[in-house]
Structure 1
Amino acid sequence: FCVGDKFFLKNNMILCQMDYEEGQLNGTFESQVQ
């Protein structure tokens, strides 16, 4: 995960703020593929 960014715990995963916001825009984490 990213150091120096805000962290969010979602579905037992630690996410960077950027990843979290991307997930919010997409509206889902479960089907997120990178």
Structure 2
Amino acid sequence: FCVGDKFFLKNNMILCQTDYEEGLMKEGYAPQVR
């Protein structure tokens, strides 16, 4: 669990932005940012 500006609720778990984005990438739904 990390402290930051953005949090996401997913599968009843609170994720910080980086964890959330990593989860999206693993699922194949991440937008192309870089």
TM range (shorter): 0.5 to 0.7
Count residues in correspondence: 28
Give the match for residue 20 of structure 1.
20
Amino-acid identity (%): 81
Instruction: Give the greater-gyration-radius structure (CA).
Output: 2
> Where do 4+ consecutive residues of structure 1 move more than 3 Å?
none
Give the alignment's TM-score, normalised by structure 1. 0.68
**1:1-34 CA-partner distances (Å, limit 9, x unpaired):** 222231000011000000000000000xxxxxxx
Structure 1 alignment gaps of length 5 or more? 28-34
CA distance in 1, matches of 2:16, 2:4: 9
